[in-house]
Copies of this chain bind each other. A is one copy, B any other.
Amino acid sequence: MSIARTGEFGLIERVVARLGTGPATIIGPGDDAAVVIASDGRVVASTDVLVEGRHFRRDWAEAEDIGRRAAAANLADIAAMGATATALLVGLCAPPDLDVAWAEQLSDGLATEAALVGASVVGGDMTASPTLTIAVTALGDLHGLPPVLRSGAQVGDVVALAGRVGFAAAGYTVLSRGFRTPKILVEAYRRPVVPYALGPAAGRAGATSMIDVSDGLIADLGHIAHASKVGVNLHRSAFKVPEQMRDAALALGVDPYQWLLAGGDDHALAATFPADVPLPEGWQVIGEVIEGSTVTLDNRPWYGPKGWDHFRA
């Protein structure tokens, strides 16, 4: 059945019926607005939009995986501030011939990913559009901690990474060449595995800056370098190319370091810590903060692609 048949309100009713309610929800879907707990008198908020053909393809992933990825992109931004996500709001623009089941599964994916951090979908909007578009806003709670910004990195800090990089980019390349394996790469593209809890853990441990790796590690550390007015030097030896990634790179004729250093979409977290701070479990050192303004690899410039620009790529 198409959403043109259920209509806007019928579709909203069906989708809302499938959503759970998180502990931070005071008023959930169905009113003019939601009301969500912001326990320390501040709320963290971020918006990301996914457009069909650019951020996802319906023939490459199930609706539920697309929902999980749309949620992950936003939940990772909240984690990168050192906060815990509490709620998602979802704007869905869909062609009227979209199957209702697809919209329901998308919504299931959004709710499932949100539930990983104790958040839930508290509201949204649905409208017809020729271009399938998913706009997600995530809200989060710092629980009294200061937010970890991009601008706090200090010369002498260590640069650390939590979560994996390069997997989603490798999966994207595999899919775009018409393959469906290696499964570990394709699955990583379809459904990122984000170390959400390691964001607040970094904040508690005293991280001086943090970012969600969505544009690519070099590009995103470049954002930290720019905001903090420092340079970043990465150690190539800190990046092991996993066996399946190496095999795929060889088969496809790609330098796997392009996936590792310039691939987005895994939503790893990158942060800087004072050199004398013990890193929280799950974080590993990949470089150091130096004087300068660029990101280097073993003290040399990186000439590969840096990452992703949405109007140019």
Contacts and interface: CB of A to CB of B under 8 A. Distances in A.
Interface in A72-92: 77-78, 80-81, 83, 87, 89-92
Interface string A110-139: 000000000000111111111101010111
Given A32-B211, A311-B7, A311-B11, A46 B123 contact: yes
Contacts of A284: none
Given A33-B81, A127-B55, A139 B43 contact: yes
Interface string A177-196: 00000000000000000000
A47 B128 contact: no
A74 to B, nearest CB: 9
B44 A34 contact: yes
A149 to B, nearest CB: 5
A268 B54 CA distance: 37
A153 to B, nearest CB: 13
Contact of A133 (B36, B131, B142, B311): B131
Given A89-B137, A147-B35, A129 B126 contact: no
A83 to B, nearest CB: 7
A49 B149 contact: no
A81 to B, nearest CB: 5
> Which has the most chain B C-beta neighbours within 10 Å: A6, A47, A80, A89?
A47
A300 interface: no
A23 interface: no
Nearest to A87: B45
A4 interface: yes
A131 B54 CA distance: 12
> Which has the most chain B C-beta neighbours within 10 Å: A35, A80, A149?
A35
Contact of A93 (B78, B133, B312): B133
A37 interface: yes
Contacts of A80: 32-33
18 contacts: A4-B311, A7-B311, A8-B312, A32-B46, A32-B80, A33-B83, A33-B140, A36-B43, A36-B45, A37-B41, A37-B42, A45-B137, A47-B135, A49-B127, A54-B127, A126-B310, A127-B310, A128-B310
Top-4 shortest CB links A-B: A135-B135, A38-B38, A33-B46, A131-B131
Interface of A: 3-4, 6-9, 11, 26-27, 30-49, 51, 54-55, 77-78, 80-81, 83, 87, 89-93, 96, 122-131, 133, 135, 137-140, 142, 147, 149-151, 210-212, 227, 309-312
